[in-house]
Amino acid sequence: MFQQHLAKLTSYYHRCGSFGMVIDMRQAAQMPAGQRRLLAEYIDHNREQYPKVNCASAVIVANGMQRAILHVLSWLTKESAPLRPFSTVEEGLAWIFVWLKTAS
């Protein structure tokens, strides 16, 4: 199921161009180490396969543990992607819109 989700996310790269994702993790269960590794590989793969596509992720988190997971993902990936934690969807969307204006 998790790999199907990553495949769906990868399909957005086929559009070619800048895009942003707002990912709401507030109700998500803790991500196991294996899934964190798969997510890091997904990020690296898409950066290599689609070098001209810019993607930023605003991740909505509920607590410090989820923030820590984001730091681990940043550490696991080869190239740091624009990935930032936020407390609300509105904050994440605002950041994505500003980022999209500057990424074009």
pLDDT in tens, 17-69: 889 999 898 998 888 888 888 888 888 888 889 988 888 889 999 998 888 88
CA distance 8 to 4: 6
Q: Reply yes or no on whether the pLDDT at 97 is more than 90.
A: yes
Q: Which of 87-95's residues contact partners 24+ apart within 8 Å by CB, and which partners?
A: 87/60, 87/61, 88/60, 89/22, 89/24, 89/60, 91/58, 92/22, 92/58, 92/59, 92/60, 93/22, 93/58, 95/56, 95/58
What is the pTM for the complete model shown?
A: 0.79
